[in-house]
Chain A
Amino acid sequence: MDWVTVLLYIVLVTFGWLNIYASVYDENVSHSIFDLTLSSGRQLMFIAAGIIIITAILIIDMRFYDTFAYIIYGVILFLLLLVPFIGKEVGGNKAWIGIGSFGGQPSEFAKFATALAVAKFVGTIGFRMDNLRNQMILFAMIGIPMVLILAQKDTGTALVFTSFMVVFYREGMSPFLILVGIGCAIIFILALLVENNIYLYAIIGIVWLALIVFSKKRKFKRIALLTIGAIALIAMLQSVDYVVENVLKPHQQNRIKALINPDADPLGYGWNVTQSKIAIGSGGFIGKGFLNGTQTKFDFVPEQSTDFIFCTIGEEHGFIGSLITIALWVTLLLRIVFIAERQKNRFTRVFAYATASILFFHFAVNIGMTVGLFPVIGIPLPFFSYGGSSLWGFTVLLFILLKLDAHRGEVLQRI
């Protein structure tokens, strides 16, 4: 058992729980942190349930996860498929299914299920990443849950699955695809930031000319490729405005606009980002103190106990608190990478990288959006944000990894 990770988990969950209490705390109504009418009381129940889940994960034979990977993946896909028909709409997304008051969001569990399936597929003896067919199968594995979750209008969670690219990269896929993806994102944002596309065209033209003039071998094929690339870029730039105006939904357009200029309409679409930055920024160096935050407590920040939980940390614990939180997160992520790298078994290593990638994606996007570096994409900060499904989903992910890691010596016997 990797006790460093367990300790980090305990610290993060506890700190998260205290912050949930702070975000719903009301001086005038003195509820205790354990009060079940408050999010903090319910979160404690979720944590307790989490401990039962952890116990179960640790008791179950490690071979179960390898053996049943595809079946678990299949069951979750089936549930995702059911959601649009039997799901309940909670907070604008139809992602919640359950019986009575007992239930959860399958999309939260799709993350670890997909991680298991991908790990199993990549871990197959003789698997080669440079095989196109294998790549297609992997993209399908992450693509199917993405599409199903997009159907629930939960763009944020769907985007989480792109984090598997990190795993593929680590396992040998050419970085070309990732670079193209990042390049497209940069161009997309540039196109929004720069009012007049002429400047961008000029830059593309200059780069194109420079590449042709200074390349040593002026083969026709290379020139042709560069020219096609340049034309494709220009076409893409041209289409960005069209995409923003016509493909994206108004609230998505606004989130991108808010990122670029949150002050344009601080009370309208810029509200979330503006208020989030005010809350965090007003914390100062040491913060206002536990339960003394005004911005989160008085609901100026929306969803302050779920997606915007980092505002409470920033406001009440200041830069010091933010620094500690980020340090804890970096430690956890690097620890998981360390765990991954000490595996002799490819299945466990892939699963570990999937865990690291998913958590990193959440960490980067969630904190990025609260400090105004990223568009508002509603995904929780793992272990901090209020919510049973989210907490359990990440707990399962992390503790399956710890269980597999604990048995890393035995794995060889099976092969």
Chain B
Amino acid sequence: MNDGRKDIIQVIIILVAFIFLIKLFSIQVLDNKYAELADSNAILKQIDYPVRGLIYDRNGKLLVYNTPEYDIQIIANEVKRLDSAEFCKVFRLTPEELKTKFKELKLKKEYSPVKPTTFLTQLSNDDFARIQDRIIDFPGFYIQPRSTRSYTTSAFANGLGYVSEISKSQLEKDITGTYKQGDYIGQSGIEAYYEKYLSGKRGVRFKMRDVDGLDKGSFKNGDLDTVSVPGQNLMTTIDLDLQLYGEFLMQGKSGSIVAIEPATGEILAFVSGPSYDPNLLTGKNYSKNFQFISSDTAKPLFSRPLMAQYRPGSIFKIAQAMVALQEGVITPDTRIVCNRSIINCHGSHRNEDLRGAITHSCNPYFHNVLRRMLNKGKANDPFTDTRIGLDEWSNHIRSFGFGKPLGIDLPNEKSGLVPNPAFYDKAYRGRAWKFSNIYSIAIGEGENLVVPIQMANFAATIANRGYYYTPHLVKSIGNTGKPLPEYLQKHFTTIDSIYFNVAVDAMQSVVEGGTAQYRAKLSDIIVCGKTGTVENNPPLFDHSVFIAFAPRDNPKIAISVYVEDAGQGGRAAASIASLMIEKYLIGETKRKHIEDYVLRGIFN
């Protein structure tokens, strides 16, 4: 009778074993969750932060360096009997602040009670000295050193950019998974553009730890560990003395100075006015200061040399002249009567040749030149004829680097605007247009837009008699001694170099006997320049523009100066440009009165 029972007992034993095997198969083989949980239990990933690369000026003067800073991390499970009053005292927090810190902690995405999570950030060296000896009184809290940027001077803030905590959207864009929340990243300027060189390579150490968080040695004998590689140092093209002088001259003004070494495309000075002190955007007070600086109506964060798009004004006449010579619609000897009925002019000239027209910045002359350019009679109706001419014209103008981003090694470069037929079709919404509709582009007004860096590059192109190297701010990455390869390529304009000599001669006359003769002339050096006075909405003064290079032969510096609301180009801009040239080529200014005139800032 009981024989069946023995079978039942055996079946139950086997059944239980099967249930176990199914369960084991599901958690060991089918489900990977447990393996990951085990790793996060026992393996601590320690990031070894590399030192960020330093930044120097072209003469090896230090611009940006690192100072140590400390984060306090917490492993919540290890916190035992926290004496919050004492904690507040040591860390200089109010009890309310401490409470919010704990609340914020729990809300953090990466928060885990068994893993280190950042609790307080950016404690200074002084804080560290105070806290260092006391930290052992607060089990579960750890000091994590990291470094922050410091700046030797307040110069070149817009070019250098700043470094701050990575934003949510940047994290989402980082598909390589290099960065994680709380990491620091270059946000603008050189810091952002050269991020991958400056940041170096992080090292990772996998450490094992037991349930109490005690170190149990390296994981797999450290086979998976990587050593951190420090970031590469950068040598910029900036001449710190010249940069500082430029910023000194620009104080209280809005605008920009860009100086370029024509032979290399290296930017010697990159001044944006107004600027800010880069030391404000570093360390603990970053967010407070950022709020303050970014809400300033003078827009100190706006990098004018790169992002401000202005009408170029009369400096554009040089380009017009060369395009016209190249197209053969005029010769250097072509004389045109200064007919002021269509377009206004200034000064007492009447019937100039090309050189005289540039020297006196004659508006009717260039109005006429542009008409010859755009209406060459290639088509019978004036509309098609203008269209053909404008297309040729805009191609020539673009070859100087206008109308497109030059490709400088900074983010957010603006392109400016060189109108072409397609542009006017769109602007006139299909209605017909011809020369008489668009002639203001002849004198650099109208639809033309350029950015200051393009103006300086234009000056450098004339200085080189027909070619340029893309302007750039970094001349050497790490120990290579070389900039990025794209900055070693010459770009030629569509204008033959013989025509540049005409422009150079004319620009010499501008300084020696034309619109810039009072303030831009130097006694020992032949300076070539061109003024521009860009129309502004009254009652504001016009914008003052000047481009120049010097010396005339074998030029060492090309420069553009743009001063907003400062009147004639021959005043503010020409003065600043000549002072910069003097400073760079001679090392000091011999014309104290010009410097005082600039610093006084009253140009009318």
Chain A residues within 8 Å of B, Cβ to Cβ: 26-28, 166, 169-172, 267, 275, 277-285, 294-295, 297-300, 314-315, 318-319, 322-323, 326-327, 329-330, 333-334, 337, 340-341, 353, 356, 360, 363-364, 367-368, 371-373
Nearest CB of B to A215, in Å: 27
Nearest CB of A to B76, in Å: 10
Q: Provided the pairs A282-B35, A319-B28 are in contact, do residues A326 and B13 lie with their beta carbons within 8 angstroms?
A: no
Flag B25-44 by CB within 8 Å of A: 1 or 0 each.
Answer: 10111010111011101110
Q: Which of A27, A295, A323, A340 is close to B217, meaning CB atoms less than 8 Å apart?
A: A27
Contacts of A329 in B (CB 8 A): 17
Contacts of B42 in A (CB 8 A): 294-295, 298, 300
Q: Is the CB of A294 within 8 A of B24?
A: no
A285→B29 CA distance, assembly (Å)? 6
- When C-beta atoms are compared, the residue in chain A nearest to B25 turns out to be A319
Task: Please tell me if B284 contacts chain A, counting CB pairs below 8 Å.
Answer: no
- When C-beta atoms are compared, the residue in chain B nearest to A172 turns out to be B2
Q: Is the CB of A322 within 8 A of B28?
A: yes
- When C-beta atoms are compared, the residue in chain B nearest to A170 turns out to be B5
Q: Is the CB of B210 within 8 A of A280?
A: no
Nearest CB of B to A79, in Å: 31
Q: Is the CB of B13 within 8 A of A333?
A: yes
Task: Please tell me if B586 contacts chain A, counting CB pairs below 8 Å.
Answer: no
List 14 other contacts, CB 8 Å, given A281-B37, A299-B210: A170-B2, A278-B37, A281-B28, A281-B34, A284-B29, A297-B210, A299-B211, A300-B211, A326-B17, A329-B17, A334-B13, A337-B13, A367-B20, A373-B23
Contacts of B390 in A (CB 8 A): none
Contacts of A356 in B (CB 8 A): 9
Q: Which 3 A-B pairs have the closest CB atoms?
A: A281-B34, A282-B38, A298-B210
Task: Please tell me if B208 contacts chain A, counting CB pairs below 8 Å.
Answer: yes
Contacts of A364 in B (CB 8 A): 16
Q: Is the CB of B13 within 8 A of A280?
A: no
Q: Is the CB of A282 within 8 A of B208?
A: no
Contacts of B27 in A (CB 8 A): 277, 280-281, 371
- When C-beta atoms are compared, the residue in chain B nearest to A364 turns out to be B16
A314→B16 CA distance, assembly (Å)? 17
Contacts of A278 in B (CB 8 A): 34, 37-38, 41
Q: Which of B6, B38, B43 is close to A170, meaning CB atoms less than 8 Å apart?
A: B6
Nearest CB of B to A330, in Å: 5
Contacts of A371 in B (CB 8 A): 20, 23-24, 27
Q: Is the CB of A280 within 8 A of B34?
A: yes
A68→B530 CA distance, assembly (Å)? 123
Flag B195-230 by CB within 8 Å of A: 1 or 0 each.
Answer: 000000000000011111000110000000000000
Task: Please tell me if B10 contacts chain A, counting CB pairs below 8 Å.
Answer: yes
Q: Is the CB of B35 within 8 A of A326?
A: no
A334→B17 CA distance, assembly (Å)? 12
Nearest CB of A to B75, in Å: 13
Q: Is the CB of B28 within 8 A of A280?
A: yes
A28→B9 CA distance, assembly (Å)? 48
Q: Is the CB of A368 within 8 A of B33?
A: no
A337→B14 CA distance, assembly (Å)? 12
Contacts of A279 in B (CB 8 A): 38
Q: Is the CB of A330 within 8 A of B17?
A: yes
Q: Is the CB of B41 within 8 A of A294?
A: yes
A27→B208 CA distance, assembly (Å)? 11
Q: Is the CB of B13 within 8 A of A330?
A: yes
User: What are 11 A-B pairs with beta-carbon distances under 8 A?
Assistant: A166-B9, A171-B2, A267-B113, A278-B34, A278-B38, A284-B28, A297-B210, A300-B41, A319-B28, A334-B14, A373-B19
Contacts of B21 in A (CB 8 A): 322-323, 326
- When C-beta atoms are compared, the residue in chain B nearest to A340 turns out to be B6
Q: Is the CB of B1 within 8 A of A172?
A: yes
A151→B279 CA distance, assembly (Å)? 72
Task: Please tell me if B77 contacts chain A, counting CB pairs below 8 Å.
Answer: yes
- When C-beta atoms are compared, the residue in chain A nearest to B42 turns out to be A294
- When C-beta atoms are compared, the residue in chain A nearest to B13 turns out to be A333
A282→B17 CA distance, assembly (Å)? 21
Q: Which of B5, B23, B31, B216 is close to A28, meaning CB atoms less than 8 Å apart?
A: B216
Nearest CB of B to A159, in Å: 16
Nearest CB of B to A86, in Å: 35
Q: Is the CB of A334 within 8 A of B33?
A: no
Contacts of A353 in B (CB 8 A): 9
Q: Is the CB of A337 within 8 A of B10?
A: yes
Q: Is the CB of A334 within 8 A of B10?
A: yes
Contacts of A166 in B (CB 8 A): 9
Q: Which residues of B243-263 have CB atoms within 8 Å of chain A's CB atoms? A: none
Contacts of A280 in B (CB 8 A): 24, 27-28, 34
A372→B13 CA distance, assembly (Å)? 19
Contacts of A373 in B (CB 8 A): 19-20, 23
A172→B5 CA distance, assembly (Å)? 9
Contacts of A300 in B (CB 8 A): 41-42, 210-211
Q: Which of A281, A315, A333 is close to B31, meaning CB atoms less than 8 Å apart?
A: A281
Q: Is the CB of B24 within 8 A of A314?
A: yes
- When C-beta atoms are compared, the residue in chain A nearest to B1 turns out to be A172
Q: Provided the pairs A281-B31, A330-B14 are in contact, do residues A170 and B9 lie with their beta carbons within 8 angstroms?
A: yes
Q: Provided the pairs A330-B13, A333-B13, A360-B13 are in contact, do residues A322 and B5 lie with their beta carbons within 8 angstroms?
A: no
- When C-beta atoms are compared, the residue in chain A nearest to B212 turns out to be A299
Q: Which of B9, B17, B29 is close to A319, meaning CB atoms less than 8 Å apart?
A: B29
Q: Provided the pairs A318-B28, A330-B13 are in contact, do residues A267 and B77 lie with their beta carbons within 8 angstroms?
A: yes
Nearest CB of A to B16, in Å: 5
- When C-beta atoms are compared, the residue in chain A nearest to B214 turns out to be A298
Nearest CB of A to B9, in Å: 6
Q: Is the CB of B28 within 8 A of A326?
A: no
Nearest CB of A to B113, in Å: 6
Q: Tell me which of A171, A298, A356, A368 has the highest count of chain B C-beta atoms within 10 A of its own C-beta.
A: A298
Q: Is the CB of A28 within 8 A of B217?
A: yes
A18→B138 CA distance, assembly (Å)? 40
Contacts of B34 in A (CB 8 A): 277-278, 280-282
A219→B20 CA distance, assembly (Å)? 45
- When C-beta atoms are compared, the residue in chain B nearest to A336 turns out to be B13
Q: Is the CB of B216 within 8 A of A298?
A: yes
Contacts of A360 in B (CB 8 A): 13, 16
Q: Provided the pairs A299-B210, A314-B24, A330-B14 are in contact, do residues A27 and B216 lie with their beta carbons within 8 angstroms?
A: yes
Q: Provided the pairs A277-B27, A371-B24 are in contact, do residues A294 and B2 lie with their beta carbons within 8 angstroms?
A: no
Flag B507-527 by CB within 8 Å of A: 1 or 0 each.
Answer: 000000000000000000000
Contacts of A267 in B (CB 8 A): 77, 113
A284→B39 CA distance, assembly (Å)? 13
Nearest CB of B to A154, in Å: 23
Contacts of A326 in B (CB 8 A): 17, 20-21, 24
Nearest CB of A to B331, in Å: 86
A281→B217 CA distance, assembly (Å)? 23
Contacts of B209 in A (CB 8 A): 298
A323→B211 CA distance, assembly (Å)? 28
A372→B26 CA distance, assembly (Å)? 12
Contacts of A330 in B (CB 8 A): 13-14, 17
Nearest CB of B to A162, in Å: 14
A225→B17 CA distance, assembly (Å)? 37
Q: Is the CB of A319 within 8 A of B24?
A: yes
Q: Is the CB of B77 within 8 A of A322?
A: no
Contacts of A318 in B (CB 8 A): 28
- When C-beta atoms are compared, the residue in chain B nearest to A271 turns out to be B211
- When C-beta atoms are compared, the residue in chain B nearest to A333 turns out to be B13
A333→B16 CA distance, assembly (Å)? 12
A372→B31 CA distance, assembly (Å)? 15
Nearest CB of A to B431, in Å: 70
A372→B211 CA distance, assembly (Å)? 21
A277→B33 CA distance, assembly (Å)? 10
Contacts of B216 in A (CB 8 A): 26-28, 298
A364→B37 CA distance, assembly (Å)? 26
Q: Which of B2, B13, B28, B33 is close to A314, meaning CB atoms less than 8 Å apart?
A: B28
- When C-beta atoms are compared, the residue in chain A nearest to B76 turns out to be A267
- When C-beta atoms are compared, the residue in chain A nearest to B213 turns out to be A298
Nearest CB of A to B40, in Å: 9
